[in-house]
Amino acid sequence: MMSDSAEQPRSVGRLITAKRGRSKLHWSDVFSYVYLGLGVLLMFAPVVWLALSSFKTPAGLLEFPPTLLPLGQISVEVPGYDDPLLMFSTTMEDGSVRELAQVRRIGIVATMLDPNDPDQTFSVPITQNEPIREVRMAWENYSGPLERFNFMSYLWNSVIVTTAATIVTLLINSMAAYGLSIYEFRGRNAIMLFVIGTLMIPITVILVPMYLVVTSMGMVNSLWAVILPGAATPTGVFLLRQYMLTIPKDLIEAARMDKASEWQIYWRVVMPLALPAIAVLAIFSIMWRWNEFLWPLIVLSRSEVYTLQVGLNAFQGELNVQWHYILAMTVVTLIPVVLVFAFLQKFITTGIASSGMK
Amino acid sequence: MTTKLTIALMGSALAMSVLATSASAQTELRMTWYNDGNEGEVMRGLLDGFEAAHPDITVTLDEVPYAAILEGLPVQLAAGHGPDLARVTDLGGLSEYYLDLTPYVSNPDYWEANFGPFLEWLRPTGNDSAISGFMTQLTVTGPYVNRTLFEQAGVDMPGEGATWSDWAAAVNEVAAALDIPIPMAWDRSGHRVAGPAISMGAQMFDADGNPALVDQGLMDMATMLYDWHQDGTMSPELWGSVSGSTYLGANEDFANAQVVMYMSGSWQIPQFAETIGDAFDWWAVPAPCGSAACTGMPGGAALVALSGTEHPEEVGILMEYLSSEAVLAEFYGQTLFIPGHIGLAAGGVEFATEDPRARHALETFAGAVPGISPTAFDLQGYPNNRVMFNALISRLGEAIVGELTLEQAFDRMTQDVEQQLAEQARDN
Amino acid sequence: MPEKNANTSLSDRLTAIAAIPVVLFFRLFEAPFRFVQKIGGLKAMPYIFLLPNLAFFGVFVVVPLFINFSFSFTGGTNIFLSERVYTGTEQYEFLFDCGNYLDPQSCREDRFWKAIFNTMTFVVLQVSSLVALSLVTALILNRKIRARGFFRAVFFFPVLLSPVVVALIWKWILLRDGILNAFLVSIGLERILFFISPEWAMFWAIFVSIWSQMGFYMLILLAGLQAIPPDLYEAAEMDGTSPERVFWRITLPLLWPNLLVVVVLALIKGVQVFDEVFVLTGGGPGTATQFIVQYIYTTGFASSVQNFGLASAASVVLGLVLFVLTLAQLAAVRRKNDV
């Protein structure tokens, strides 16, 4: 088990690179950095693209080729016209290019005028017109849904579900893992086999029976219906148990000598030692619950108990998917994930690395 | 026992959040609703008006993704945990859960007169009197064309009475002249292709009224669609790219001027008015003809009262308010939906749009309603029509991508329908 | 140990304050556990520790599994078991009604068999590429690399995204008018309609699932690499062993336990593949990326006649297959290190 992440890389790194003279760059170093550079692009660019797209207008989203930044067409107020007119860059018959405003379009011919000289109009084939645009963020993709829906209530529900479920999960999983790793008892292997067996059952295939169980317990349309069913995760038990197996038995024996009760050993000795694995499970539990969609969609049918994922997906219609809202609301649900990760990234990655699941 | 404290903590937190919404003891009705556009906002506005007039009733609008209506709601209803009202699209399929409003509305004749043909869609087989709800949106399937592309290419648009082949020839000419990638696109939906199939002579039912999906008319339509995918008239993107009965539309490609002719329906109007606007002339045209008819399919979504409700009287009051001519005129006008109310359809609704293209499209589709084939109405009113639609579309899709031959696809369609109906028949 | 800075004392104090409710919370349990220990002795303790988890497990997993199992012997569309029609093994017979098990077209329920074959293809290709790529990335990150922490984080963060979001992000890129096609067109290539080609659709299904999961497996392997005692490398270096030999003789054998965990977990996730691919390709084109969980979901849930009986029968078959797989893996694990 590694104890210090700062020390190991140096020695191992030196060992693998030591053979090559330090002074010149070996091909494998170049390869490594190119690989990592491509990796960064491949991992980040899609999410950045999503975020940029979420600021585009519905028409802007449909454009091909897509523009990198969200753009909006410039319009001008012209005296004598009620509505602002859209600006185009027009190639005139003599080949010169002018910036003109469009008055109206009939068929394939547009009537244009120069905003500085509104009295003269031109008839131009629309193929000669190129819209003039500027960077413009469609904030309404965000403000519209957030004002319309009870965003704070969805957020609150999501936070409650995530926190409560994570606490319950951590508690009961760690207790079970403790029982399975510290004691030798009849049925241990059977239970372990059972845990691993159910690790493999995707919840999707037992949705309806689970719904029946939850309704018969009277939990429909209560947050409990989302919190409790997934709490006894086999993955969590498996992960924690594998980690607890690495805890030296002597420590536990020593504690017993000191007349510590079994609960105290669990809570005072084993839990602190298993903290990296617990942290990993906590993070996974938070992510699972925050992202859960299909199950809440079925058991929560009243808006006051909607979680973010259910509430913000109300834009998925039958015949029309309102992409501009979907993308924006996806970004909204991503923000907490990104924040958590940005602040805890080091903790998370070293936690997983050091829990290692050996 | 182990989670006593969490329960206490969570309990108080939950209590707080619940308290905030149920302060008084008045009757609360729950309406489950999905959105394709702005209809949720319009409905909320109308409900506010209702609540002002009936201070003892509040109506909560639970807006959900469409998936929740399609997949979650049937399970909730079957388990007895449904809402009081819901906006649904599987009109006949869920009819066993509907409430008959006849005792709770003051004037059943008004319903019969104005919603008559649509009430039938909501009735279970064998029932010919129930009043369960009204259409929030009547839809009519039909094509749109990009008229600007026709003008640019200098091709004349086929006129009234043109067949699907005439249109295919014309759009291919336009696409070839202007290098447009997709001459024609049809929604990937069983409901959408049923119109052309009936136009080409499909009967959909046998003489005894039992479903008989595959007949000569349907095979002609399917073969035509299949051939179009082979010769490039249609792009395999819609029909080829997903499996099963998944719906896919080409609305985005059409809005992007990548499609010359797009077979969809009236519900696209508000969206096109927003995304296309003035960029080109998107033009609704009458349903092209086959050998038997020139028909689209009627359809749509209905707001229905559900029998699980504990407050049928209040539901009746609400439905009476919502179904009144003035309220519905406002609703249809604001949402740009084709009215599912015969009085309003005849009298005309003042649609909240200035866009001449949208107005023309609304007129075209509303005007197509009287010409819809009776077979199309029967099919729409058949409670298990989705079984037929899904079999049709999923197997035809598999044929188009080359996993099945057309003959195999037809056999599988028949099998699929038989198997699902047999499974359902086990209940009785 | 990392050096302490001025902020540590403050954060220590905050941690201590935050710990108070946790401490109180755990105190609550002490009395009942002491009591059990007094009555039942050490022998009773594993059971009481296991009880809460098993209780939850029993109610929310075992009971539904049992209902599911019972469903598979019934037919009709009723949701309550008591109202369903007993059909014996009809649903199973229907699933297994095949002329030739290797040719889905000859089967009555062709989609079930296609889904099985698709899942097998996916699992083989996805798990092997996933493990290979995780290993390569871990080996590279194990070298003397600048900003290792940054790269580690970059490769890891997609693990935290929900499958639906992952699929949405990539779908947005791969669409006909998406940015990838814009790029292809801009360098003079033809647009590719990724989702109408079975090969491309399968490729992207595999690619996207690897994109979203690799970071996790990479970290496990990295941990294993860093735990290999440096003196082994030193000794090899003294002997002038070639790097290839070092890799095959030292790195790989010592990394074996971690590699095994990675393979097991990747296999489990691979067989369960559903939501990511469902949102990305919708199972298409045709049925080219329709997998077994999607088949069960569509049959029992997302279809106009919700056929719970057939879906349950299919899930029982899936369960049996998974169980056999698990036993095989357990045997493999047991051989290497005691479970």
pLDDT digits (tens, 9 = 90+) for B191-210: 999 999 999 999 999 988 88
Closest residue by Cα to residue A38 from C140, B22, B28 = C140
pLDDT at A239: 82
Indicate yes or no: CB of C223 within 8 angstroms of CB of A356: yes
Does residue A9 sit within a domain?
no
User: Residue B242: is its pLDDT beyond 90?
Assistant: no
Count contacts between A and C (CB, < 8 Å): 306
User: Residue B261: is its pLDDT beyond 70?
Assistant: yes
How far is the C-alpha of A322 from the C-alpha of B35, rounded, in Å? 9
Q: Which residue has the higher pLDDT, A20 or B385?
A: B385
Domain span holding position A121: 71-135
Query: Mutate which of B29, B32, B35 to test chain A, going by most A C-beta atoms within 10 A?
Result: B35
| Phi, psi values for residue C262, rounded to 5° | -60, -45
Does residue A233 sit within a domain?
yes
How far is the C-alpha of B111 from the C-alpha of B95, rounded, in Å? 17
pLDDT at A113: 83
User: What integer is the mean pLDDT of B172-188?
Assistant: 92
Does residue A348 sit within a domain?
no
Does residue A76 sit within a domain?
yes
Q: Collect all residues of chain C within an 8 Å Cβ-Cβ radius of residue B93.
A: 304
pLDDT at A23: 53
How far is the C-alpha of A32 from the C-alpha of C141, rounded, in Å? 8
B237, B252, B420 ranked by CB distance to C196: nearest: B237
Confidence band, pLDDT 50/70/90 cuts, at residue B31 = very high
Interface contact A65, partner B, CB < 8 A:
no
C87, C193, C302 ranked by CB distance to B70: nearest: C302
> What homologous superfamily does CATH list for B27-138+299-356?
Periplasmic binding protein-like II (3.40.190.10)
Count contacts between B and C (CB, < 8 Å): 124
How far is the C-alpha of A113 from the C-alpha of A79, rounded, in Å? 12
Q: Do A98 and A198 belong to one domain? A: no
pLDDT at B19: 43
Indicate yes or no: CB of C305 within 8 angstroms of CB of B420: yes
Nearest CA in chain A to B9: A164
Q: Do A206 and A285 belong to one domain? A: yes
Q: Which percentage of chain B shows pLDDT scores above 90?
A: 57
Q: Do A161 and A305 belong to one domain? A: yes
Confidence band, pLDDT 50/70/90 cuts, at residue B16 = very low
pLDDT at C4: 45
**From A122-131, B52-61, B355-364, C152-161, the region with the lowest mean pLDDT:** A122-131
pLDDT at B414: 93
Residues 6+ apart with CB under 8 A from B215: B201, B202, B203
pLDDT at A30: 85
Q: Which percentage of chain B shows pLDDT scores above 70?
A: 94
pLDDT at B20: 45
Does residue A145 sit within a domain?
no
CB B62 within 8 A of CB B69: no
| pLDDT tens digits, one per residue of C46-83 | 888 999 999 998 899 889 999 999 999 998 888 888 88
Does residue A91 sit within a domain?
yes
Q: Do A127 and A265 belong to one domain? A: no
Q: Do A184 and A285 belong to one domain? A: yes
Q: Do A172 and A88 belong to one domain? A: no
A306, A314, A320 ranked by CB distance to B271: nearest: A320
Does residue A190 sit within a domain?
yes
pLDDT at B46: 95
User: Residue B60: is its pLDDT beyond 50?
Assistant: yes
Query: Mutate which of C219, C241, C274, C337 to test chain A, going by most A C-beta atoms within 10 A?
Result: C219
pLDDT at A197: 74
Last residue of a domain, one of A83, A112, A135: A135
Confidence band, pLDDT 50/70/90 cuts, at residue B23 = very low
Closest residue by Cα to residue B83 from B52, B112, B62, B111 = B62
Domain range annotation of chain B:
27-138+299-356, 140-298+367-425
Indicate yes or no: CB of C284 within 8 angstroms of CB of B243: yes
User: Residue B264: is its pLDDT beyond 80?
Assistant: yes
**Please, what is the average pLDDT of chain A?**
80
| pLDDT tens digits, one per residue of B112-160 | 999 988 998 999 888 888 999 999 999 999 999 999 999 989 999 998 8
Q: What are residue B85's DSSP bridge partners?
A: B31, B305
Our CA-based measurement puts residue C253 at a distance from the nearest CA of chain B, in whole angstroms, of: 44
Q: Which chains touch C (3 or more CB pairs under 8 A)?
A: A, B
Does residue A55 sit within a domain?
no
User: Residue B58: is its pLDDT beyond 80?
Assistant: yes
**Long-range own/partner contacts, residues B97-100 (CB < 8 A, 24 or more apart):** B97/B306, B97/B307, B97/B308, B98/B122, B98/B130, B98/B132, B98/B133, B98/B304, B98/B305, B98/B306, B98/B307, B99/B132, B99/B304, B99/B305, B99/B306, B99/B307, B99/B309, B99/B312, B99/B315, B100/B129, B100/B130, B100/B131, B100/B132, B100/B307
Considering the domain B140-298+367-425, what is its CATH architecture? 3-Layer(aba) Sandwich (3.40)
Q: Do A122 and A199 belong to one domain? A: no
pLDDT at A21: 45
Number of domains chain A contains: 2
User: Residue B358: is its pLDDT beyond 70?
Assistant: yes
A62, A313, A319 ranked by CB distance to B267: nearest: A319
Bridge pairing between strands A97-106 and A109-114: antiparallel
B13, B18, B34 ranked by CB distance to A318: nearest: B34
Angle at B243 between CA B241 and CA B246, to 5 degrees: 95
Low-confidence ranges of chain A (pLDDT < 70): 1-25, 106-107, 317-320, 347-358
Q: Do A168 and A281 belong to one domain? A: yes
pLDDT at C11: 65
> Along the 339 residues of chain C, how does pLDDT read in single tens digits?
344 444 556 667 777 777 777 777 777 888 888 888 888 888 888 888 999 999 998 899 889 999 999 999 998 888 888 888 899 899 999 999 888 888 888 888 999 999 999 999 999 999 999 999 999 999 998 887 788 888 888 888 888 888 888 988 898 889 887 889 889 988 988 888 888 889 999 999 999 999 999 998 998 888 888 888 888 888 888 888 888 888 888 888 888 878 887 887 888 888 888 888 888 888 878 889 999 999 998 888 878 888 899 999 999 998 888 778 777 776 776 665 543
